[in-house]
Structure 1
Amino acid sequence: MRTTRTRRTAAVTLLTAAALALAACGGSGDDGEGGDAAPTRAVIDATGAEVHVPVEPKKIVALSEQDLDGLLALGVKPSGTVNGRGQTTPPAYLGDLAAGITTVGTVAEPALDAINDLEPDLILAGGVADEARLASLRDIAATVVTYKPETDWKTAFAKTAETVNKTAEADAWLADYTTKAGETKTAIADHTGESVSIIRWNPDGPVVMLKDSFASLVIQDAGLVRPDTQQEPGFAHTDVLSLENLDKADGDWIFAATLQPGSAEALAEAKETPAFAALGAVEDEHFVEVDGTLWTSRGGPLGALKVLGDLTANLGE
């Protein structure tokens, strides 16, 4: 009888020791499966979906300029990204910061095979609304929609930071941005309240960026406004203006950008027309040509600082 009890006691002891050893080795993640799965944490993305993401992602693919900008601002270099709108490279304003990142298509058409080849453990899909595309991305790796098209850049940045477990760093970054916006406002104080027209000149003519577009929000932080003719809500741009309606592109200042091939030539031709010469901002020599990848696309925190820099360079003392 004693022998049987002894054997049972020994077996229980061995099982308990094995369980304790497994727990000590981290046999399961925070929210993940058992075995060798990396620990994960839950994030609620911009669509309301709960996504389990790696606590420490190793290979990230950013499928928008805004996600790429936000990651780089946080000191995180993704393995893959997409080309900027109208470009064959990541956004030009990011310069060397984006060097060496593999491109996997465009914002409109990311290449699933190229993404899969990178073997990512996290995909940031800001702005993606197509459910079929999201399903395909989720088959590759945990996929977080960091923003909807109408989301402002600060909110989008905060969600990108939350997804990669760097909320504290983003909070500090935004606080620093607020300080720099205040410094810019002081530097251009003589122009506080003046109107700034933001246009993109395409080969077939100019379009006006809407009131809630990226650069429009940044100039507001610096104490400037959009013209009365440019108060239409939205984050994209208007239809192309004809030369007869070019007065809608006017303001105390015009910041004009180009993106597509042939746009610079079209702008040069427009400058020779009477309608262009009659614009108040042109007469006052307040017409400024700027980087379209920065002023008329979706940007993030690094882009916002560059917009502030352009304002200081052109409106400051």
Structure 2
Amino acid sequence: MSTRQRPLHLARRRAVQAVAATGAAALLLVGCGSSGSADKGSSDKGSPSGTADAAGGKRTVKDATGTAVEILTEPKRIVTLTQEDLDAVLALGLKPAGITNGQGLNEPPAYLKDKVQGVPVVGNLLQPVMDKVIAAKPDLILAGDMQDQQVLKQLREITPATLVTMAPTDDWKLSFRGIGNAVNKLDQANKVIADYDAKAVKAGGELGASKGAAVSIVRWNPTGPSWMEKKQFASGVALDMGLTRPKAQDKDGNAHTPALSLEKINEIDGDWLFLSTLTDDGKAALKDVQSKPAYQELNAVKSNHTVTVDGSVWSTRGGPLAAGVVIEDIGKALAAK
């Protein structure tokens, strides 16, 4: 199941077969023929099929669905429709002209909030209010994994430079590189990822006795816990640090399981248990189960190895700034032991 909310997941699942083969790789590879930083970061990708109009200051790229989109070489007013797009733009040193609220929130994600003070909010996650988008005067809209064709049509009437930035199977690094290429900062995006890789390895090496521990990564829903698959964002960060996953969770995939019943709660056990929620109902459900014997018998609970983390970071599709938060959360928890 997607790490987004369920209604959004259902729409995405119908589109997986159509877009998974192209993904953010299309956004990354096409448009590399223009001048600027995108050339250097993509010179080993073969002959580029994108075009650039030096006189008009425009480039053509393909987005994550394979749609060719003409954009300004240096877009100045970027509107982001997901926190992953926002994370990417901020990591590249750009200030957006409009943003949406975080997943399950009525405000921007806490970990990005201080970086977007004063930036207009144009709606909720993947639910833009068109009048507010118009007021932001965008010259580029980053539409995340938007699959609603009617909404995309409305956005492209505001500006044709509207890009779907991730396919359902794309990981955050692929999507981030695609966004970096779209805003003509691919070299910088590659450096951000290289810095992340080095930070993850260094942080993993500083875990001492906890190095290689099996970490369970769980989101608690109103109906029960779901554990994250190995290629989900936070899981990938843990693996990049040299940690492992419990045997029951050692499965490929970039989503999470359906909510588990109390009878299957042992599936969430591990050397360490990282717990997140996205809604008040989820928090209430977690608080309720913590008093039950089945929860108290988990090895991680008996060892006092449970950590509550921010679901708007850990349960998303991620980005470089979110990855830094996960590294810090893991390092703080495990190094303390």
Structure 1 range deviating more: 263-272 or 138-147: 263-272
Larger radius of gyration: 1
Question: For 1:202-281, what aligned pairs fall within 5 Å after superposition?
Answer: 202-281=221-300
Q: Unmatched 5+ residue regions in structure 2? A: 1-50
Specify the SS of the correspondent of 2:121. strand
User: Which stretch of the first structure deviates more once superposed, 96-105 or 272-281?
Assistant: 96-105
**Alignment partner, residue 3 of structure 1:** none
The aligned amino acid for 1:194 is: A
Between stretches 275-284 and 260-269, larger displacement belongs to 260-269
Contact in 2 for aligned 1:116/1:140 (Cα 8 Å): yes
CA distance in 1, matches of 2:117, 2:252: 35
Hey, what does 2:111 align to over in structure 1?
A: 93
Distance 1:315 1:47 in 2: 40
- CA distances 1:286-313 after superposition (whole Å, capped 9, x unpaired): 1111111111122200010111111110
CA distance in 1 between partners of 2:270 and 2:264 (Å):
14
Once the two structures are TM-superposed, the CA of residue 30 in structure 1 deviates from its matched residue by 4.8
Structure 1 residue aligned with 2:38: none
1:146 to 139, 152, 165: 165
Which residue is equivalent to 1:83?
Answer: 101
The CA distance in 2 between the partners of 1:102 and 1:298, in whole Å, is: 23
**2:53 corresponds to 1:31:** yes
1:130 matched to 2:148: yes
CA deviations over 1:102-127 (Å, ceiling 9, x no partner): 11212242222221221211001121
Q: Pick from 139, 157, 169 the counterpart of residue 188 of structure 2.
A: 169
> Residue by residue, what CA displacement relative to the aligned partner does 1:239-282 show, whole Å, maximum 9, x if unpaired?
11111111111111110011101322322221110000011111
**After the TM superposition, which of the residue ranges 100-109 and 266-275 deviates more from structure 2?**
100-109
CA distance in 2 between counterparts of 1:238 and 1:296 reads: 12
Identity value in percent: 45
> What is the distance in 2 between the residues matched to 1:167 and 1:149?
22
What's 1:22 paired with?
Answer: none
Read off the aligned partner of 1:97 and give its amino acid letter: K
Matching residue within 111, 127, 133 for 1:109: 127
Q: Give me the TM-score of the superposition, normalised by structure 1.
A: 0.85
Q: How many angstroms apart in 1 are the aligned matches of 2:153 and 2:184?
A: 24
In 2, Cα distance between the equivalents of 1:231 and 1:132?
A: 38
Please list every run of at least 4 consecutive aligned residues from structure 1 whose deviation after the TM superposition is greater than 6 angstroms.
none
Is the partner of 2:85 in helix, strand or coil? helix
Comparing 68-77 and 97-106, the one that deviates more: 97-106
Structure 1 position 192, deviation (Å): 2.9
Structure 1 residue 191, shift from structure 2 partner: 2.4
RMSD: 1.8
Q: Deviations over 1:126-146 (max 9, x none)?
A: 211232222221111111111
Tell me if structure 2 keeps the 8 A contact 1:51–1:144: yes
Q: Which amino acid in 2 is paired with 1:174?
A: I
Contact 1:65 1:298 in 2 (8 A): no
The TM-score normalised by the length of structure 2 is 0.80
Aligned residue among 280, 284, 306 for 2:325: 306
Q: Assess if the C-alpha contact under 8 Å between 2:126 and 2:143 holds in 1.
A: no
Aligned length: 285
Give the AA of the match of 1:257. Answer: S
2:212 maps to what in 1? 193
Does residue 1:291 correspond to 2:291, yes or no? no
- Contact kept? 1:31, 1:52, Cα under 8 Å: no
CA distance in 2, matches of 1:58, 1:257: 35
C-alpha contact (below 8 Å) 1:198/1:216 kept by paired residues: yes
Q: Partners in 2 of 1:143 and 1:166 — Cα distance?
A: 18
**SS of corresponding position for 1:256:** strand
